[in-house]
Amino acid sequence: TLQPKEADVWTALGDLLRSADQYSAAAAAYDKAIAGIAQGDRRLIGLYYARGVSLERSNHWDAEESDFRAALKLNPDRADVLNYLGYSWVDKGQNLDEAVTMLEKARALRPLDGMIADSVGWAYYRLGRFQDAARALEEAVQLVPGAPDVNDHLGDAYWRVGRKIDAR
């Protein structure tokens, strides 16, 4: 087991590497930080999330999903984790019903987060609920008007509900 300060050093290194888009190396640093922290410690929530993001960005889906589930086991109300896992599932076309439930929960926890609203709208879109998607994505665009992905998603939803001019 690491000394308490050593886990903090590995965490800081992981954060630095992740911010530099060195995701595999970041995940390895988070591995060492996690190994040095006792099970049940609340710091693990953030570490599992950070390592999960790093693993997703370095195309290690199974490990990523496991980390997000571990974080949610420690705190089922972490909106960022609910959003990341839910959106990942939507993006991969997996567990769509569970993904929508997670995303709706995340949105209830953080109603003014435009990226979460976008995730909910995109999940509705992927389920073929195009009217619901358009409404959620309109709200998302109001919350983050300059986000290109959000505007793109709204355009796709508008196209599907027959609002071709708005879609363009």
Model pLDDT for residues 42-67, shown as the tens digit of each residue: 899 999 999 999 999 998 877 888 99
Give CA separation, 46 vs 6, 67, 75, 167, in Å: 16, 10, 10, 38
The predicted model scores a pTM of 0.87
What 8-state DSSP symbol labels residue 21?
A: T
Confidence of residue 2 (pLDDT cuts 50, 70, 90): low
Model pLDDT for residues 77-126, shown as the tens digit of each residue: 999 999 999 999 998 999 999 999 999 999 999 999 999 999 999 999 99
Predicted pLDDT at 77:
96
Q: Residues 27-37: what's their mean pLDDT? A: 94
The helix/strand/coil state of 80 is helix
